[in-house]
Amino acid sequence: MKAINRKILEQVIAASVEPLMIVRVDHTDWPVVLTNPAFDAISGHDRLQQPFADVIEALVGREMALEVSNSMRSQQESSFAVEVGSREYLLGLKPLRLPTEDTASFCGVFWRDGAGSAIAADSDSHHALLTAKRRIRDLTREDPVTGLLNEHAFRDVLEHDWAVASRENSTLALVLFTLDEFDDYVDVFGKHASDSCLRRVGQAIRRCLRRASDVTARLDKGAQLIVLSHASDDEGVREFAARISTAVRELGLYHPRSAGGRFVTVSHRVSAATAGVKPDSAEEFLQGLLAGDGG
C-alpha cells in the first residue's frame, strides 16, 4: 500500500471537528508540532512549538497538567476528564509509534466532547478502564507517605529525560532537599506526625514547581526530597531552590529542636549539567549530587 502524503494527512486532520494536537515527545519540553482549527478554537492562541506541559497548564490548570505530564512520560494510552471554559472534554493521549520503534517519537492528544451521547457513554467506559489501569500503575510509582514519585520511578524519569536532553545538549538540574534535624522531629512527635510533616513539605515543594514537566520525588523512604527541573540557567535554579526553602519554612510546622527558629526547615543542594557532555550518564549525575558534589 502506498504511503499517504503528509499534506493529505494534514488536510484530514484540519477537517476534523474533534480538537487535536500532535506532540513530539523525543525532544526536550515536548513541543507541539501540529494542531487543527478545532483545537485552535478552544485554546484561543497559536500553540505551535510551545511546550506541551505549558499548553495543558494554560487550559486546565497546574494540578491536571502535572498528572497529564506524568502519563505522557509513561508512554501509555491514557484519558482524563477535563473542563475548558464551560465545556467538558475527555482528554486522550495516544502514543504514536512505527512498528520498528520501541518508544514513540510523537503523541496524539485528542479532545473528545464530553456531552451525553452513545459515543460519550463509550468514552466514559473507556476512560474508567484507563483510569483504573493508570491508578494501578501509579501505586507502583508513588511514595505512600508523600504521594510524590518514589525513588525507583524518579530514576526512570531521570533516565528518560537525560536521554532526550542528551540528543539536544540541553540542561537538566537536580535539587536535593533534606529536612533539617528530622530524626529529632520523629523522636518528639512520633511516626504518624512525622509522616504528616513529610507529606506537607512534599506538597509545598510540588506547588512550587515551575513547569508541569518538572517532577519531585522522595528518596529511599527517608527525609530527602528531590526535584528534576528542565533548567535554563544555574542562577535561576538556585533562586528556585531558595524559594522552595522559604515556602517550607512558611508552612509554620512546629519543631522544638530545630536550629532554624523552632520550625521545620530544609537544606538544599543544587546540581545542573548539560546532558551528553558531562557527567556521562543520568546515574552519574544523580550520584554526584547525593555525594555532595553539587553546589
The pLDDT, as a whole number, for residue 138 is 53
Whether the CB-CB separation of 237 and 173 falls below 8 Å is answered with yes
Q: Is residue 110 assigned to a domain?
A: yes
Query: Do 155 and 127 reside in the same domain of the chain?
Result: no
Residue 133's CATH number: 3.30.450.20
- What three-state secondary structure class fits 161? helix
Mark whether 126 and 161 lie in a shared domain. Answer: no
Q: 165 and 254 in one domain?
A: yes
Determine the Cα–Cα distance for residues 108 and 86; give it in Å rounded to an integer.
24
Backbone φ and ψ of 214, nearest 5°: -75, 150
Distance CA 93, CA 111 (A): 9
Q: Residue 12 carries which DSSP code? A: H
Residue 200 lies in a domain: yes
Instruction: Give the number of domains in the chain.
Output: 2
Q: Per the domain annotation, does 67 fall within a domain?
A: yes
pLDDT at 264: 96
pLDDT at 150 over 60: yes
**What SS3 class is residue 43?**
helix
* Residue 228 and residue 187 share a domain: yes
Indicate the residue type of 87: R
Nearest alpha-carbon partner for 210 in 178, 233, 187, 192: 233
Structure confidence by residue, pLDDT tens digits, 214-272? 899 999 878 999 999 987 677 888 999 999 999 999 999 999 999 878 999 999 999 99
Identify the domain boundary among 105, 139, 173.
139
Of 139, 167, 184, which one is at a domain's C-terminal end?
139
Domain around 30: 6-139
Q: Which pLDDT does position 118 carry in this prediction?
A: 40
Q: What is the pLDDT of residues 52-69, one digit of tens each?
A: 988 998 998 888 888 888
pLDDT cut 70: percent of the chain above it = 87
Q: What is the pTM of this model?
A: 0.72
**Quick one: what percent of the chain has pLDDT higher than 90?**
44
My answer on whether 192 and 92 are in the same domain is no
The predicted model gives 100-122 an average pLDDT of: 72
Query: From CA 267, how far away is CA 177, in angstroms rounded?
Result: 6
Residues 155 and 280 in one domain: yes
**Domain for residue 135, yes or no?**
yes
Determine, yes or no, domain membership for 250.
yes
pLDDT for residue 186: 95
Residue 239 located in a structural domain: yes
Three-state DSSP state, 149: strand
The residue type at 51: P
Rounded to the nearest integer, the mean pLDDT of the chain is 84
Residue 42, all three cell numbers? 478552544
pLDDT tens-digit readout, 34-50 = 999 999 999 988 889 99
